[in-house]
Amino acid sequence: MDSPLGPREEIVLHGHRICFHRAGDGPAVLLVHGITGSARHWELLFPILAERHTVIAPDLLGHGESAKPRGDYSLGAFATGLRDLLLALGDDRVTVVGHSLGGGIAMQLAYQHPERCERLVLVASGGLGAEVHHLLRAATLPGSELVLPVLTGDRLRGLAAGAATALRRVGLDAGPDLAEMVRGLDTLADAQTRHAFLETLRSVVGPGGQKVDARDRLYLAESMPSLIVWGEHDPIIPAEHGVDAHRMMPGSRLELFDAGHFPHLEHPFEVARAIGDFVAETEPAAISVEDLRARVLAGASDAD
């Protein structure tokens, strides 16, 4: 059966293979998946958005079918990699949509390269508060390298029912959250992917929770149209993070759904409509270096 994402394309950037899907015509939308994910996480949303937009969905470095080198898996490195992908594809400006880890990357892209971002959409985004599910915190502890191989690959597939039961005991009920967590563990079957996962996770999460917090820079998005999408029953990152961010981002929109951590999987048509309406009803940002400098200096003058 053909994937809703259509054919996979590849490009080599800085010596590493990046896989992506691209379809449609119209204003460009870049979809950035979360940790242990891939472009597949957007397969329900992708064809709907592609009816009116040029949609680009890459597998991040270290994820999916893209290369998994030893290297820098920080938010800044991911953001720069996406900028280079857009440059190579000739898509100069995009509405960037990020889910979970991808939300943190989207914010970093908007912060580092505002000239590339017309709008910002955050879906159950990381980087907006410390709270995060304790399973992710535990995975950053020393020795997790020895535990992960036991939970992944053929062993996990053979014990899928047991894995599901164990995850339910820690608050992940049946539905997309549970299914995607099991699938995410299943992607970690090989050592290269596990290394990339741990490097990525430890760059943003520690035993005490999320280490990266963008809230002190949200004022910089004042002139960038922003949409925040969240599931009200998110067990991974609490919806309160999105509500608080909405208050801190003047002019932003907030859409809450009866969903968990993957509202775009539980309500793909509604989330696609919210994104499509948002793109159609807002003017793209055009933030100059002078604008950004003025905001940074204003923020510096407001510091304690």
Buried b (16+ CB within 10 A) or exposed e, 180-193: bbbbbbbbbbeeeb
3 is catalytic: no
User: Can you tell me the distance from the alpha carbon of 57 to that of 45, in angstroms, rounded to the nearest whole number?
Assistant: 11
Tell me which of 53, 125, 234, 241 is the catalytic residue: 234
CA proximity to 90, closest of 36, 11, 189: 11
CA distance 198 to 90: 32
Look up 134 and say whether it is catalytic. no
100, 203, 226, 252: the active-site residue: 100
Give just the sign of the alpha carbon dihedral 3, 5, 9, 13.
Answer: negative
- Which member of 99, 261, 264, 267 is catalytic? 261
Report CA dihedral (221, 223, 225, 231) to the nearest 10 degrees: 30
261 is catalytic: yes
Q: Which two tokens stand for residue 149?
A: 């191989």
Contacts 24+ apart (CB under 8 A), 71-78: 73/196, 73/199, 73/200, 73/203, 74/203, 75/104, 75/105, 75/108, 75/127, 75/203, 75/204, 75/212, 76/108, 76/112, 78/105, 78/108
Enumerate the active-site residues: 100, 234, 261
